[in-house]
Amino acid sequence: MSANGAVWGRVRSRLRAFPERLAACGAEAAAYGRCVQASTAPGGRLSKDLCAREFEALRSCFAAAAKKTLEGGC
Amino acid sequence: MLRPASLWHFCRRPRSARVPAENLGRREVTSGVSPRGGTSSRVLNIFDRDLKRKQKNWAAQQPETTKFDYLREEVGSRIADRVYDIPRDFPLALDLGCGRGYIAQYLNKETVGKFFQADIAENALKNSLETEIPTVSVLVDEESLPFRENTFDLVVSSLSLHWVNDLPRALEQIHYVLKPDGVFIGAMFGGDTLYELRCSLQLAETEREGGFSPHISPFTAVNDLGHLLGRAGFNTLTVDTDEIQVNYPGMFELMEDLQGMGESNCSWNRKALLHRNTMLAAAAVYREMYRNEDGSVPATYQIYYMIGWKYHESQARPAKRGSATVSFGELGKINIPEGEKSQ
């Protein structure tokens, strides 16, 4: 670890905001989860980027929520 | 026999990236041979004990360390129950991997005369919980006990043996330091622990990155545990399993709690990095696949409790084959007194 833990502290505080932003994107997260779960059914095969579309939606919602909390201020 | 064939390790963005980031891609089995070159290739070297000590020290000196104690407190109290169940008192006892002393706080002076608290992390020993039993704190690695043979009447161990590299040897050492007619009561995490987390991370990593790397520790199977105890020389074994399910708001809170408990991954072949996208994907999958009605997500901790005795002539032995004097067929002819007959 670095001497004052500055980088780690920054990363941690960013990570602490994740649950809140994830809560704001419930629908997209559920859609992505359903897509992945469907591939685990018998006969399905999970491969890379199988649910890329749903994940993109989730990621952009997540980024939008991040910007909102930044602008809204804590 | 020593570990299940497929290894899953828990990765938690290690703060000291001493292991270089490994290639992404499918990992099937990690053999027991240490990549760092142990003293002999026969010795299992899965976990970085040095890193585990640092993680436990860090966890113990956090500002709110009692927030993460719930699991250890619960298992500590159940082990204390098992100690009370034995109608005996123990003048000298050892707690291996004691943390802050979760078992000692539930026991009393009559049951245990003197308690040796042994742990690998000095910060945990410094903040030990209050107990009425006189204790001695010792800095000990569970893999090499510095005690003489036939020292202790009782050895307990709560939720720390799952980070030991050579579990057979650790159990043999415990057997060695026990007095004849001494008892070992242990609790360790078992096969199904954190399976939700393991599956979510695996699915998310496969979908996002095309392959997956083990993130959850390998856990011993219950059959193997019986064999290991027998091989170490214990008699009259008892192994029972218990499942504790804890609900969390989400996957990130679960991972934060695991890190706060000092249970971060420390295996040599852990991946140094868990991508933010993968974490996000895994949290979404976890929530979708496993959530409860109220929106929280469960995490399962499967605990194996084991009791083993060191041999002493006074202990009951199984009868010799062919020495039966009555047959099982005569069970039906046993007369039950009228008043006690159930319907």
| pLDDT, position B15 | 42
On the question of pLDDT at B174 being above 90, the answer is yes
Residue B8 falls within a domain, yes or no? no
Burial of B145 (0-12, 13-18, 19+ CB in 10 A): buried
Give chain B positions within 8 Å (CB) of A30.
Answer: 284, 287-288
Question: Is A27 inside a domain boundary?
Answer: yes
State the pLDDT at residue B336. Answer: 67
CB pair distance less than 8 Å for B249 and A19: yes
Q: Is residue B113 part of a domain?
A: yes
Contact B279 A51 (CB under 8 A): no
Q: What is the pLDDT of residues B1-10, one digit of tens each?
A: 444 444 444 4
**Is it the case that residue B302 has pLDDT exceeding 90?**
yes
Mean pLDDT (chain B, rounded): 83
Q: How many domains does chain B have?
A: 1
What ipTM was predicted for this assembly?
A: 0.87
Report whether pLDDT(B139) > 60: yes
Q: Which domain holds residue A37?
A: 3-68
User: What is the extent of the structural domain holding B139?
Assistant: 49-193+220-248+300-310
User: What's B103's domain CATH number?
Assistant: 3.40.50.150
Answer whether residue B160 is part of any domain. Answer: yes
pLDDT per position as a tens digit, B223-251: 899 999 999 999 889 999 999 999 999 89
With bands split at pLDDT 50, 70 and 90, how would you rate the model's confidence at B272? confident
Residue A73: inside a domain, yes or no? no
Which residue of chain A comes nearest to B206, CA vs CA?
A: A48
Question: Residues B62-85: what's their mean pLDDT?
Answer: 91
**How close does chain A come to B251, measured CA to CA in Å?**
8
What are the φ and ψ backbone dihedral angles of B70, each rounded to 5 degrees? -60, -40
User: Other C-beta atoms within 10 Å of B306: how many?
Assistant: 24
The whole-angstrom separation of Cα B207 and Cα B201 is: 10
State the pLDDT at residue B82: 94
Q: Is residue A74 part of a domain?
A: no
Our count of domains for chain A comes to: 1
Gap between the Cα atoms of A12 and A23, Å rounded: 18
Contact A22 B208 (CB under 8 A): no
Q: Give the pLDDT of residue B238.
A: 92
Question: What tens digit of pLDDT does each residue of B22-52 get?
Answer: 433 333 333 333 344 444 445 678 899 999 9
Say yes or no to pLDDT of B331 above 90: no
**Distance (Å) from the alpha carbon of A5 to chain B's nearest alpha carbon:** 10
Q: Residues B186, B242: contact at Cβ < 8 Å?
A: no
